[in-house]
Structures are given as structure tokens and as C-alpha cells.
Amino acid sequence: MGSCIICGSSTDGRVCELHEEDVVFEFRGNQPDQLSPRRYYRGTVDGYAEFGIFVDIGDSVTGLLHKSELDQRLDSIDLEPGDTVYVQVQNVRDNGNVDLGWSIRQDRSHFRGALVDDPSADEELLLNEAEDQSAESSPKPTADDVSKTERSSSSESETADDQSDDESAEPSSESEEPEPTDDTSGPEFESVTIDRLEDYVGKRVRLEGEIETARQTSGPTVFKLRDETASVECAAFEEAGVRAYPEVGEGDVVRIEGEVERRRNELQVETEALVLLEDDEREEVTERMHEAMIQRARPGEFESLTEDPAVESVEEPIRDAATAIRRAVIEGRPVVVRHAATADGYVASAAIERATLPLVREEHGSADSEYHYFDRRPLDGSVYDMDDATKDVTTMLQNRDRHGETLPLFVFVAAGGTAESIDGFDLLDTYDARRVVIDERAIETGVADAIDVLVSPTVEGEFETTATVLGANVAAQVNADVRDDLRHLPAISFWEDTPEQYVELATEAGYEPDDTTNLREAVALKAFYQSYEDKRELISDLLFADEADDPVGLAGHVAEQYRTRMDSEIETAEANLEEFDAGGETILVLDTQAYTHKYEFPPTPLLLEELYRRHREDGVALVGIGEDEAYIRSDTDVDVRSVAEAAREHAPGAALDVRGAREGRVEFLVGERDNAREALLEALGAELSSVAAA
């Protein structure tokens, strides 16, 4: 029987079961099954794989630290083979594979003690003793020696003990009187706001705010507290792995008293007391936080990038959208941008990304915070359907339950404006996830009621605008510091007839018309290849070049590929265009199933748009008929829903249905393709004649 090196209690071995996770072990065995699960071991990086990091534990055993155990992306880890790391053995499989977990304590001094785990020895040795003498020749220390020696080193290491995310040391059973402060007349705890904690490290403070998250680690319970100025983690210790203050959860308004510490270069409050506020006290704190948050998040006076009646018609909605994004960043709420996988969708969302990421880095500090608090995900089309919404809800709930993340703000760009998205919005609303839509097209009935903020032009008369024009103006309100970075973006989003004010704005930024054309085509090509998983760095390199003298060097090369592939497909399509007589008007028809490459660039919608731009003088509309879908392109204001409804009467068995009115897309059954084709063309002809007569 010996004494625990941490608390001195009697135990078999050198550390009691309660404090085994507060000690780091040096492994000197040669078999995986000699490792002890739950223990923390010193290891060295052996190498990388796509799924994680291999770590050598001792000289003869290697384990896998899976990427899911890391708190940042694998490709952002700055570790080289041979580097020392500290890991926890989670499981030793029957086949000898060792599953490892990451320890946030990546320094030996952050553990309360260090031992040698040598299966061939009679008992574990203190690491400093084992380094000075071999196990065979040295007399083993007595329990009294251990107690005397290690109590001294333990008291020193307690000050560096890391109680951050995963583990915590139990407070010493020997209470010590606090050192007297210089100001003996002041209160024991000083009431401060979270943004002032940097000046109170080592001091006792009182905070009031709302609990954002509460998670249980193997040591303390960690509450993330937010007040009107910022957020901070507060560690409360009841017993190792036991929930402290179980009555307090997410959304509760509390008062916390404790000492400010710095853990892994992050501020943290060691909680001494936590009180749940109710009634008048709760209302006072909540109202104070709400007013301060709105005031802090609301951007200054509106100033558009340039004069534009479409933008001026939505001045207040633009400020509302910017407020929602800024507020999400301040609250530590992830911002998820869902955008159409088109050049316009990509450029508009990249503008918002450009404005938001600096705020995220400023607010949350850590090197990988921008990957936790901002995400940009392309959509397949412009409809946010139940499939998309279900994936998003699943992801956000997993992030909430596994990582303590708050529910995100969703921003929809060049998407979501049609009725097909309402069910997806309603699912997000079920979980109180806020929703912003930025769309240059007319918004269909019911959409505005399903979202929180809508940015869609309401100006009367003929005008042309894009989602990028609106998104760039939102971005300029989110972060005025990046305003100059955004000036060339609107010109990129117009495929033809770019408004003169945006041509001039891009020229002032150093981008000539040929430059913006190259950028537009380059983004359109990359949008196709990134339609399922966006890589923000590539789009950023295209749109925000560092060298002003060569703003589109990369884009010029990519745009050349765009033109080569587009011209090849256009040549094939032109050779197979048909003409359909619609009451004296000509409708151009292309069998896209027969005369396009289904899974290659360009995608059908983009090909049809380019084809119609080149042949609009030959017909009033262009229809692409695929295997089970059709796309309608026309300069005339065609009501696609009316066309589909009329076509159903002539082809009732085709199950004609509008899948994306914004894209002019109509679906039908494969077996009724011929009937659907004839019915659609007849209905479209009647619609065009009706519009012409009006």
C-alpha cells in the first residue's frame, strides 16, 4: 500500500483512481495490451494519414489519433514527425490497434504529476527518479519518500494545471487563506464585463450573463457565459466527471463569481459560485444584453457601393441582414452561407465571407476559429429543399451536442426565393435557427413569412441587378474595412450589359472589363467542380488577388479552359437546334439528353443560358428537353408555373411539376417524355402569345 502522489491518500500503486487522469505516464512496455485505458501518455508523432495522426507510445507501440478527436482540421495541425504530444489511450482493440484521444494539456507542466508505466517493474516510478537511475539498480522509494517529494512538486504544478476542455484537477483538500489584496476596502469580487477580463487575470470577479453552452468533461463542468460584451468559459468543479450546478443549462441567466485564469493562452474563470437569476434580476440582465447587442451589431449609416435604385430600394433590409450577421459573430453563433452553385452565387457569398472572417478572427481569436464560426456551402440549384434542410439540421444538432456549438444563422444567397424552399425554412424554424435570404429575383408568396430577413429589390420599372450587387452591399455594411476589396465584384456577376456605374467601380479598383470577364468565367468553371464541397481558398485566390498589377493572372488561365469547353459544347448544340412554331413565334428546342454531356462542364443550365444569348434573335425562347426535366430560357416575362399548369392538362400522366421556378426548371416522368415535350411547347407558345398581346 502506498500514497497517491496527488492527494496523499492510501492506494495501491503511486496514484489513486480518482487522480489517475491528472498524471502523465511514460510507457516502457512493448505490447499494446500493456497500456491502461483512460491514462494519459507522452508520445511522439510518427506520421500522417488521411484519417488521422499515428503516434508512437514508447518505443514499440503505435496508436491512431483519429481526426474526429481533434479540435481543428487535420490539415491545419502544425506537427512534424518526432514532435512530442500528449494523448489519452481510449481503447486497445483485440487486434492490437490502439485508439487515442487528444489531450488539451500539451505540456508536461500542465499535469499534476508524471510516472513511468513499466510493466516489467514491480511498481510505477516517479519520472524524475526514473530518468536519473535505472529500475534495476536503484532502490525503490518508500511511501514516505514519495509523499514528501511529490507533495512539493505537486503543489508547484497545481498552479499550471489545465482545467480547460477535457480534464481538471480536484482542488486541494488543504484550504489556503487567500492573500490579502492591496485594496482591503473594496468588495471581495469586483463586478466587471467579460471584455475587461484581460485586466483581471489572477483576480476575483463577478459576471452576469446568459449561458450559451454547458458541457461536462472528465474533470469540470464548463459553462460558456455571454454578456453584452463578449463570451468566456467558466469551469465549475464538483467532482471529476460529475456535473456541477445540474439545474443550470443553455439559455439560463446567471451570476458567476470566480477567479480569472489563463489556460492555453485563453481566458477562463474558475467558478467559485454560480447563482441562477430569476424574475426582475433576470429581466434586467436580459434587457441590458439585448440593447447592448443590437447597438453593437447594428452597422453605421448606410452607404451603397455606388448609386443604384435597386440597392436603394432595400436599404433597411440590407442593414437588417448585416446586423444579423454581425450579431451572430458577436454571440459566437456560426454563420452558414447557403448559395447557388453559379458564378453569381459564388461571388455574392464570397463577398459576405470576405467581410465576416476578419470579425470572426477578431471576436474569437483562435487560429482555426474561422472554420468553426463560418461555413459556405453551395446548393444544387437555387431551391433549399427538405434534403438540404435535413442535412443542415443534422449537422447543427451534432455540433451542438458534441461540441457545444450554438445553433447557426443561415444566410441564403441567390437561392431560396421560390415556394419550393418554404418546407426547408420551416424545418430550420422548428429549431429556432434564424434565416436570411438575399435574392435579386422577385420573391414568391409565402417565402417572406418563412424567414427572418429578406433582401430583394422592390423598385418599380425595368432594371437589372444580381445577387452579388446585393450581397456586396450587405458585406460592406457587415465590415466597412473591406469595402475597397468589394468594388470589382458586382461587375463580375453580369454576363452582359454590365451597368456603367459598376464598370467604373471595377476600373477604379484596377479591373478592366476583360479582367472581370475572365473572373466571371473562371468562377463559373470552378463553381461546377466545387458544387458539392466548397473550398474557400481557391475562390478567394481568384477574386481577391494580392498583386494589383496582375489582378487576374490565375483567372485568365482558368477562363481559357472555360471558353474551350463551352465553345465545344455550343458547337454541338447549335448543330442540333430545332425550331418550333408557336403561333407565329419561333421557340428553339435542344434535346439535351442526346446532345450534351450530362456529367461534364458546362452544366445544362449554364449551357442553355449561353446558347440563348447567342441565338435570342432567332427565337423568343429556348427550351432544353432532358431525360426527365426541361429548362426554359426567354427574355419575355414567362410564368413557368402557369406554363406547367397548362401543360398538365394536355399531358396528365407526365406528372409535370415546377422544381425551380427561378431556374425555369420543370420536371416530368421519363416514360412520358414525348408527351411532356409537346405539352410544354404548346403551353409555352400560348403563354408567349398572351404576354405579347398584353
pLDDT at 84: 92
pLDDT at 533: 61
pLDDT at 51 over 50: yes
Q: What is the C-alpha to C-alpha distance for residues 318 and 119, in angstroms, rounded to an integer?
A: 67
Domain borders along the chain are 2-158, 190-287, 298-558, 576-693
Question: What are residue 226's DSSP bridge partners?
Answer: 210, 231
Q: What is the mean pLDDT of residues 355-370?
A: 82
Point out the least confidently predicted range of 104-113, 273-282, 503-512, 528-537: 528-537
Q: What is the mean pLDDT of residues 521-532?
A: 85
pLDDT at 258: 94
pLDDT at 408: 95
Q: Which residues are within 8 A (CB) of 184 and not within 5 positions of it... i.e. 6 or more apart?
A: none
Point out the least confidently predicted range of 75-84, 273-282, 602-611: 75-84
- Average of per-residue pLDDT values in the chain: 85
Q: Which of 678, 592, 587, 680 is nearest to 640 (CA)?
A: 680
Higher pLDDT, 240 or 169: 240
Fold: same for 190-287 and 576-693: no
- The confidence band for 311, taking pLDDT boundaries of 50, 70 and 90, is very high
- The confidence band for 59, taking pLDDT boundaries of 50, 70 and 90, is confident
How many CA atoms within 13 Å lie on the side-chain side of 115? 27
Element (H, E) at 266: strand 266-276
Can you read off the three cell numbers belonging to residue 409? 444563422
pLDDT at 366: 60
Per-residue pLDDT tens for 72-88?
Answer: 777 778 888 889 999 99
Q: What is the C-alpha to C-alpha distance for residues 325 and 628, in angstroms, rounded to an integer?
A: 39
Per-residue pLDDT tens for 222-243?
Answer: 999 999 888 899 999 887 788 9
Q: What is the mean pLDDT of residues 262-282?
A: 90
- The confidence band for 151, taking pLDDT boundaries of 50, 70 and 90, is very low
Task: Please say whether the beta carbons of 55 and 45 come within 8 A.
Answer: yes
pLDDT at 688 over 50: yes
How many CA atoms within 13 Å lie on the side-chain side of 67? 12
Q: What is the mean pLDDT of residues 97-108?
A: 87
pLDDT at 531 over 70: no
Q: What is the mean pLDDT of residues 553-571?
A: 91
Q: What is the C-alpha to C-alpha distance for residues 694 and 690, in angstroms, rounded to an integer?
A: 6
Q: Assess if CATH 3.90.1640.30 describes domain 298-558.
A: yes
- The confidence band for 572, taking pLDDT boundaries of 50, 70 and 90, is very high
Q: What is the mean pLDDT of residues 659-679?
A: 92
pLDDT at 153: 35
* Angle at the Cα of 145 from the Cα atoms of 144 and 151, rounded to 5 degrees: 90
Task: Please say whether the beta carbons of 214 and 322 come within 8 A.
Answer: no
pLDDT at 18: 78
pLDDT at 364: 79
Residue that the C-alpha cell 487535420 belongs to: 74
pLDDT at 125: 65
pLDDT at 593: 94
- CATH of segment(s) 576-693: 3.10.310.20
pLDDT at 598: 83
Q: What is the mean pLDDT of residues 481-488?
A: 96
Q: What is the mean pLDDT of residues 650-667?
A: 90
pTM for this one?
0.65
pLDDT at 505: 97
Q: What is the mean pLDDT of residues 473-481?
A: 96
- The confidence band for 552, taking pLDDT boundaries of 50, 70 and 90, is low
pLDDT at 404: 73
pLDDT at 17: 79
- The confidence band for 662, taking pLDDT boundaries of 50, 70 and 90, is confident
pLDDT at 474 over 80: yes
Q: What is the C-alpha to C-alpha distance for residues 436 and 418, in angstroms, rounded to an integer?
A: 14
- The confidence band for 535, taking pLDDT boundaries of 50, 70 and 90, is low
Amino acid at 608: L
Task: Please say whether the beta carbons of 585 and 687 come within 8 A.
Answer: no
pLDDT at 137 over 50: no
Q: What is the maximum alpha-carbon separation in the chain?
A: 107
Can you name the CATH fold of 2-158?
OB fold (Dihydrolipoamide Acetyltransferase, E2P) (2.40.50)
pLDDT at 257 over 90: yes
Task: Please say whether the beta carbons of 407 and 400 come within 8 A.
Answer: yes
Distances (CA, A) of 396 to 379, 401, 562: 17, 9, 36
- Give the E-state strand segments of 545-684 in sequence order: 578-582, 585-591, 621-625, 629-634, 657-660, 665-667
Q: What is the C-alpha to C-alpha distance for residues 137 and 590, in angstroms, rounded to an integer?
A: 89
pLDDT at 124: 61
pLDDT at 679 over 70: yes
pLDDT at 171: 40
- The confidence band for 9, taking pLDDT boundaries of 50, 70 and 90, is confident
* 67: phi then psi, degrees, rounded to nearest 5: -60, -25
pLDDT at 501: 96
pLDDT at 619 over 90: no
Peptide bond into 334 cis (omega under 30): no
In the chain, % of residues over pLDDT 90: 55
Task: Please say whether the beta carbons of 104 and 264 come within 8 A.
Answer: yes
pLDDT at 141 over 70: no
Q: What is the mean pLDDT of residues 294-308?
A: 90
Burial of 139 (0-12, 13-18, 19+ CB in 10 A): exposed
Higher pLDDT, 215 or 337: 337
pLDDT at 175: 37
Element (H, E) at 65: strand 61-66
Higher pLDDT, 303 or 12: 303
pLDDT at 449 over 80: yes
Task: Please say whether the beta carbons of 536 and 349 come within 8 A.
Answer: no
- The confidence band for 165, taking pLDDT boundaries of 50, 70 and 90, is very low
Q: Under CATH, to which class is 190-287 assigned?
A: mainly beta
pLDDT at 532: 61
Most confidently modeled range among 125-129, 173-177, 294-298, 306-310: 306-310
Q: What is the mean pLDDT of residues 144-163?
A: 36
pLDDT at 380: 85
